[in-house]
């Protein structure tokens, strides 16, 4: 595991964008395609915008990039909460990404069918591989130590076979569709993007508390053969023990 710490979010986003470019260039050179699962929420928006900026957009052959979603809110694609819509507005449209390069969760189906359908779609994409190996999975972190939509106290944290699953969040009374830990842990590269003082308790628990995946689901993330990186700012790691 590599912990990359930055003094401010501008540096953090630039470093993550450079890392994204490196992963993409390596995957395209090796396999002529780059498969990436995006995270949602508020944190990655500026990263996506940066990747579509003049500084970065010409560093990647975007026709060879295939986009998936680590998790999705169970809402229409035009809904303001949709992770797809956020990515579309932040960079997919600006980069002229074609429809067939973007794999959306079909939220017109019921939640269970949407999860099954997304799993099928992922398996079809990776049809030549023994298992689906994403080149990169980007993850966010909730203040409550959730990642993707692996939320504390939900059944999805115990899944060890299904690759995608629906999860019902009782407090919010909503469904989400999420990649599960077994799928995430098959990726070649997994990277967390987390910043701000509101993430400090979660980060301390993930790194220093006894393993308790029901309380701290992000502790589930440990790629089997891939590399795990954390991109954080100083505020987010402020509560870690100094040693
Ligand atoms: O609900 C979600 O939250 C996490 C973290 O979001 P943030 O707003 O604190 O950046 C995110 O990783 C996940 O994809 C999203 O659906």
The atom of ligand 1 lying closest to the CA of 83 is 16
43 lines ligand 1 (CB under 6 A): yes
Residues contacting residue 44 through CB under 8 Å, at least 6 positions apart = 38, 90, 138, 140, 193
Dihedral pair phi/psi, residue 65, rounded to 5° = -105, 135
- In a domain, residue 242? The reply is no
For ligand 1, atom 2, name the residue with the nearest CA. Answer: 41
Q: Is the CB of 72 under 6 A from ligand 1?
A: no
The answer to whether position 239 is within a domain reads no
Ligand 1 nearest atom to the CA of residue 147, by list position: 12
Whole-number Å distance, alpha carbon 30 to ligand 1 midpoint, is: 31
Q: In this structure, which residue's CA is closest to atom 7 in ligand 1?
A: 41
Within-domain flag for 199: yes
Residue range of the domain that includes 207? 2-234
pLDDT string in tens for the chain (243-residue length):
999 999 999 999 999 999 999 999 999 999 999 999 999 999 999 999 999 999 999 999 999 999 999 999 999 999 999 999 999 999 999 999 999 999 999 999 999 999 999 999 999 999 877 777 999 999 999 999 999 999 999 999 999 999 999 999 999 999 999 999 999 999 999 999 999 999 999 999 999 999 999 999 999 999 999 999 999 999 999 999 976
Q: Which helix (H) or strand (E) holds 11?
A: helix 9-31
pTM of the entire structure? 0.97
Q: Judge whether 240 lies within some domain.
A: no
State whether the beta carbon of 82 lies less than 6 angstroms from ligand 1.
no
CA of 87 to the centre of ligand 1 (A): 13
Q: Does a structural domain hold residue 179?
A: yes
Å from CA of 146 to ligand 1 middle:
8
Residue 228 phi, psi (nearest 5): -110, 130
Q: What span, in angstroms and rounded, lies between the C-alpha atoms of 135 and 27? A: 7
Total domains present in the chain = 1
Q: Ligand 1 pocket, 41 CB below 6 A?
A: yes
The enclosing domain of 165 has a CATH number of 3.40.50.1360
Residue 181 inside a domain? The answer is: yes
Contact 136, 189 (CB under 8 A): yes
């Amino acid at each position: 595991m590599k912990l990359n710490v930055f003094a401010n979010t501008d540096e953090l986003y630039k470093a993550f964008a450079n890392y994204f470019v490196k992963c993409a260039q390596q995957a395209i050179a090796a396999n002529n395609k780059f498969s990436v699962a995006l995270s949602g929420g508020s944190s990655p928006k500026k990263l996506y915008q940066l990747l579509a900026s003049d500084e970065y957009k010409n560093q990647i052959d975007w026709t060879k990039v295939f986009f998936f979603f680590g998790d999705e809110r169970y809402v229409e694609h035009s809904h303001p909460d949709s992770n797809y819509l956020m990515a579309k507005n932040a960079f997919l449209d600006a980069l002229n990404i074609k429809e067939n390069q973007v794999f959306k969760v079909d939220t017109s189906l019921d939640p269970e069918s949407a999860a099954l359908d997304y799993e099928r779609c992922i398996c079809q994409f990776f049809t030549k591989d023994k298992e689906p190996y994403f080149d990169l999975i980007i993850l966010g972190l909730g203040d409550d130590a959730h990642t993707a939509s692996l939320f504390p106290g939900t059944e999805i944290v115990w899944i060890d076979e299904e690759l995608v699953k629906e999860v019902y969040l009782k407090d919010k009374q909503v469904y989400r569709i999420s990649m599960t830990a077994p799928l995430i842990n098959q990726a070649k590269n997994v990277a967390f993007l987390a910043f701000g003082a509101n993430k400090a308790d979660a980060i301390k628990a993930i790194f220093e508390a006894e393993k308790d995946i029901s309380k701290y689901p992000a502790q589930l993330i440990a790629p089997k053969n891939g590399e795990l990186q954390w991109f954080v700012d100083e505020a987010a790691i402020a509560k870690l023990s100094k040693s």
